[in-house]
């Protein structure tokens, strides 16, 4: 398996522009997670899906952020409009089942977003 795939790997955009990050989870994994990592705040969970349905979006910072999972093999995280403080590395992860039963998460390589 190719693992979790994210695109783009790097994104540089100007403040006010729309940014879309993409993720393809490992085939057969029912859970998909979006994280953000910054030096100041570390690694934070933004939202996670189970069977394409958003379960917990309490980590989404504000209404400028939205995430969708139209099918089992694709998810997007959109920021509109983007701001410089959104600059971070965004990771997507997937797992076979709920972490409640003790399974591992597999992380993608991340998208490094820079908003100028």
Partner 1 sequence: DAKTTQPPSMDCAEGRAANLPCNHSTISGNEYVYWYRQIHSQGPQYIIHGLKNNETNEMASLIITEDRKSSTLILPHATLRDTAVYYCIVRVGNDMRFGAGTRLTVKP
Applying CB under 8 A, the residues found at the interface with partner 1 are 4, 31, 33, 42-43, 45, 48, 55-56, 59, 91, 93, 98-100, 102, 104-110
77 vs 93 by CB, closer to partner 1: 93
In angstroms, what CA-CA distances link 36 with 30, 39, 67, 71, 108? 20, 10, 13, 22, 12
* Residue whose CB is less far from partner 1, 45 or 72: 45
CB 92, min distance to partner 1, A = 8
Least CB distance to partner 1 at residue 69 (A):
15
Residue 112 CB, shortest distance to partner 1, in Å, is 8
d(CA 41, CA 99): 23
């Amino acid at each position: 398996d190719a693992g979790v795939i994210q695109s783009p790997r790097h994104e540089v955009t100007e403040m006010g522009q729309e940014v879309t990050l993409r993720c393809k989870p490992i085939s057969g994994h029912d859970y998909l997670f979006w994280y953000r990592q910054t030096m100041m705040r570390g690694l934070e969970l933004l939202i996670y899906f189970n069977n394409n349905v958003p379960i917990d979006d309490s980590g989404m910072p504000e209404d400028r952020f939205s995430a969708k999972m139209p099918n089992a093999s694709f998810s997007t995280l959109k920021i509109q409009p983007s701001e410089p403080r959104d600059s971070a590395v965004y990771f997507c992860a997937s797992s076979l089942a709920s972490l409640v039963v003790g399974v591992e998460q597999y992380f993608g390589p991340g998208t490094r977003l820079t908003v100028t």
